[in-house]
Structure 1
Amino acid sequence: MHGKTQTEFPLPQSLLQVRLLCLLKSSNVPPPEELGELETYSQALADYIRGIQTAWQDGKVGQGLDLIGNAFEIFHSGEEIDRLYLELALRYPPVGLRTGEDIASTNPIPSHLYMYWDCNPPEEIRDNIRYHQELLGTRFTIFDRDSAAKWLYDHYGREISEIFRKVRHPAEGADLLRLYVIMANGGWWLDADLRIRSLDAWKKLTTGSIKECHLFTTHNYVLHNDFFGAAPSNAIVSNAAMMALVNTFEHCGLYIAFKTGPGVLNRAVSRAIYNALQSHRPLCDLQIDDQHRFHETIEEYEVSYKHLGSSWHSA
């Protein structure tokens, strides 16, 4: 049905790579002639499909990662390629995401928790804020919209502060804030509708995190941006902050999770993995734990505003 021209959207290469990926997911072999056709449109897309095939069907994960290379760069941040790339990297010991646990960073993550609610939090969020204030005392900072804009103005200048105030959706502003706060101060970020399970859980996390950046992945390899930690000036968080700002200007209508949310963390990690593979050095300063480890520290609880169509926004 597609005319196979570069003026007809979706582009033929987009549909073809989706078809071939679906064949791989169903344990079928992509037809060589279709892979060849995809290569005429985009070498990077063909390398992506061949890399996934090599890893999944031939069991050669390292070779698959090499074939994929940095093909993720032709996609928007947060698209499926970032998740599949991370999944492969976690299965490949030389990347170092599951090795080197005893090597402590010389730039540790500060034991401080940050949180945000734009304005007028409902009672259940006020209770959660009080809970963390009592739990952590001076090691906890809560921002609202005004204090966040002032903090950004003081630390990054007028332009970033104004971008924060003018974003299309409050979630985008919260996403920008978390990246810039952790990039400047280091520490841990937690959404206001999540809570640390206990002081013991907090101590276990903060004393056990010996890397410069500590992330958690969901079961389908989307990195959590609702809870993560990093040291000041961490390269991965800095790259994610840059990506979020670029997306804000160049892809203003992009899905928020891809534009400023978890997608920019996934893309920053994809870049870090690619550079580690290119330099043949493991990512010793990055720790990525799974959803089970996330739930050992973090409790997700029901909040009524999510069921009321309210405009409240946590971060």
Structure 2
Amino acid sequence: MNISKEEKNQNQSLFVRDIVQKTPSNKKESLSNSDKIPKKIIQFWDNHEQLPSDVKDCIQSWSQLDVLGYERLLFNNKNAGEFILEKLGDRYKNAYDKCYHPAMQSDYFRLCYIFIEGGCYVDADDVYSGVDIDPLFDDDRLKIQPLCYDTTTYSMVSQSIFTMVGEYSNSWIFYFNNNPLIAKSRNPIIEQALSLATSLLEEDTSQGLPEIQSTTGPGNLTKSVTAFLKEKDAIVDELILVLKDWDNTAESKWPLSYRNDARNWRLSNSVNFNG
């Protein structure tokens, strides 16, 4: 029996809901230092010479981690492309070059970097609160944040509500954000998300540019997580830690100057970006 796209999306949302609302088992034991996630904070802004002052302030909020042994790396379009070419080769660099918007570039780059090097990717507009983040690096599980969107109110559902066991509405869409993205190198779920994004970027664009969210963003990651877990019949708690309280660690700053123009991907989805 053929399943419609809407039914597939609903099944995926319900699968994510089950993961998000599940009571986690005992915390996975810490690993030796060689097996832990590297203490790196990776960020991206396509043009450092045109870095808005308010975004710079967001990035600078993470500097308090410098004295705690964390390495912070800020990439731009040029050196992100160079990294992909050097570490992954022509195919992936060509896919990156097809990312027509800075948000799409950052989506794809984070998959490439985290797969190769590991660490913690956070968006440039996230403001660090100062809480202890060491536990997020103590084991080799993928750490991702759940989100929920209400199609009736056209707004996000509060994390404190949709993560509670039993909470549900037919209008809710459960999915995983790709910010933050915390993992050890060669994580198999990140590998699957990178493979899917690369294949989608290689598709013919003569009929229009691909949609950002589903091609390289949260939609891609959510599909990859659910597909991997179902295919491998994996124990979720062994592979993933769902960050139900990431808002206590970092807050996405709003408003920011760039959100009012084409630099905001929501205003440039499937549209050529001219800077």
TM-score (norm. length: structure 1):
0.65
Which residue among 168, 183, 188 is the counterpart of 2:100? 168
> Which residue is equivalent to 1:302?
254
My pick for the range that moved more, 131-140 or 261-270, is: 131-140
Residue 265 of structure 1, CA deviation = 1.1
CA distance in 2, matches of 1:136, 1:262: 29
Q: After superposition, give the CA deviation of every residue in 1:56-95 in whole Å (9 maximum; x if it has no partner).
A: xxxxxxxxxxxxxxxx4xxxxxx443222211344567xx
Asked if 1:201 is matched to 2:107, the reply is: no
Contact 1:305 1:312 in 2 (8 A): no
Distance 1:91 1:273 in 2: 16
Question: What does 1:164-313 align with in structure 2 at a 5 Å threshold?
Answer: 164-198=96-130, 200-207=131-138, 210-219=139-148, 220-250=173-203, 252=205, 253-277=209-233, 281=235, 283-290=237-244, 293-311=245-263
Q: 1:257 to 1:305 in 2, by over 3 A?
A: same
5+ residue gaps in structure 2? 149-172, 266-275
Q: Cα offset for 1:45?
A: 5.2
Q: 1:270 to 1:309 in 2, by over 3 A?
A: same
Mapped to 2, the partners of 1:173 and 1:203 lie a distance apart of: 28
Q: Separation in 2 of the partners of 1:169 and 1:307?
A: 14
Instruction: Please state if 1:109 is matched with 2:37.
Output: yes
The answer to whether the Cα contact below 8 Å between 1:273 and 1:283 also exists between their aligned partners in 2 is: no
Equivalent-residue separation in structure 1 for 2:60 and 2:113 (angstroms)? 21
- The Cα of 1:132 is off from its aligned counterpart by 2.5
| 1:54-73 equivalences in 2 (<5 Å) | 72=8
Cα contact 1:186–1:231 (8 A) shared by 2: yes
Query: Normalising by structure 2, what TM-score?
Result: 0.74
Structure (1 or 2) with the larger CA radius of gyration: 1
What RMSD in Å do the two structures reach over aligned CA positions?
A: 2.8
Q: Kindly, what percent of the aligned residue pairs are identical?
A: 18
**1:18-37 paired onto structure 2 within 5 Å:** none
TM-superposition CA deviations, 1:247-292 (whole Å, max 9, x none):
1123754421111100111111112321343x7x5551211122xx
1:309 counterpart letter in structure 2:
D
Between the aligned partners of 1:147 and 1:116, the Cα distance in structure 2 is 10
5+ residue gaps in structure 1?
Answer: 1-38, 50-71, 73-78
Q: Could you tell me which residue of structure 1 aligns to residue 167 of structure 2?
A: none
Name the SS for the 1:299 alignment partner. Answer: strand
Match of 2:25 among 99, 103, 113: 99
Q: Quick check: 1:176–1:241 contact (8 Å CA) kept in 2?
A: yes
Q: Which has the higher contact order (CA 8 A, sep 6+)?
A: 2
